[in-house]
Amino acid sequence: MINRRYTDLNLLRIFHVVMLERNMTRAAARLNMTQPSVSNAIQRLREVLADDLFIKVSGGVVPTAKAEAIWPTIRNSIQSLIQTIDPERFEPSVATDSFRIAMSDFVATQLILPVAGPLFNAAPHVSLVLCQNSVDNIVPGLIDGQFDMAAGVIPYKEARIRSILLKTLTYVCAMRKDHPLAKEPLTFADFMAARHLQVSLSGRSGFIDRYLTDRGMFRDIALTIRHYTLAPEILSSTDLIAILPSEVISHSHQYDLLKTTAPPIPVYEDSISLLWHERNDAMPAHRWMRERLIDIVKAQTTSIVPSLGKPQAH
């Protein structure tokens, strides 16, 4: 039950930063407060909301179910208030914004690795929280404010979601160089006889298996993982084969140990898109972050095609 006495709205700002940092000491540094002052503020808010809000663990704190439940509303309200008071203001050098971005480990290597250095040089107090997505949780997470943005091959039909196409993906079939199938051109029969590694963020079968099951066929999936960057290492030390984005192989440390070939089934080009909710369209900090990510892709490829507000068919 909520204590209905007057609530200092500054407590909500402190709560918001602790939720971002999951650590009282880091939150205090970010707020230019002492750690005891932050702890005292959270204690006052605990009394108001009649909930522990945070539980101490090794290395920081974890939010309670109630803290997780109220955070999206508090977070969105703070963002809206800032935008209302000073809608055009964003100074990267002094900004303390935090961005929660959902993406796979593969997409992170394409976007975050090249952007991190320039980003933190320009905005030394801005922080990023990368969230591993499962595809299914992306659109709900953008709608309720769990994520500020998402990047990946993400189907959606929600009209309030905005997107821009970042880059196209091509797929290859990969295996170790001394794999028994690496000596000859890969036939469909050999492909179906092999054991397969599958990378699936959702844990479910994807476009390859849809193609096969539509024709009454099933491949032998020996291993399903959720991390693209682990795939080349597994392929280099087993007799598994896998269909993957070509850059998963070309950017891996195992590149010289692997052979790639065209898949023996139709595999269409796909795209990595950047998604966000329409409420963040005009927010200067969010616009700045989106532009930084897009700039990185522009430096890697010239094929940036805008698709603002248009749901993609997958």
Tens place of pLDDT for every residue, the chain, 314 residues? 445 555 678 899 899 889 988 999 999 988 889 999 999 999 999 999 999 999 999 989 999 999 999 988 888 787 667 667 766 667 787 677 889 999 988 888 888 888 888 888 888 888 899 987 777 788 889 988 889 999 988 877 888 899 999 888 899 999 999 999 999 999 999 999 999 999 988 777 788 998 899 999 999 999 999 899 999 999 999 999 999 999 999 989 999 999 999 999 988 778 889 999 999 888 888 999 999 888 888 777 644 444 333 333 33
- pLDDT at 246 (0 to 100): 92
Same fold across 98-158+278-304 and 171-268: yes
Helices then strands, each counted (H, E), the chain:
11, 13
Handedness of CA 108, 147, 153, 227 (dihedral sign): positive
* CATH dotted code for 98-158+278-304: 3.40.190.10
CA 167 from chain center: how many Å?
16
d(CA 215, CA 312): 26
Residue-level pLDDT at 313: 34
Please give the Cα distance from 219 to 213 (Å, whole number): 9
CB 61 within 8 A of CB 20: no
Q: 171-268 is classed in which CATH architecture?
A: 3-Layer(aba) Sandwich (3.40)
Would you list the domain boundaries of the chain?
9-85, 98-158+278-304, 171-268
> Phi, psi at residue 197, to the nearest 5°?
-100, 130
CATH T-level topology, domain 9-85: Arc Repressor Mutant, subunit A (1.10.10)
What pLDDT does 116 receive?
87
Q: Print the SS3 string covering 160-171.
A: CEEEEEEEEECE
Cβ 41 vs Cβ 75: under 8 Å: no
CA angle 3, 7, 8 (to 5 degrees): 155
Structure confidence at residue 207 (pLDDT) = 84
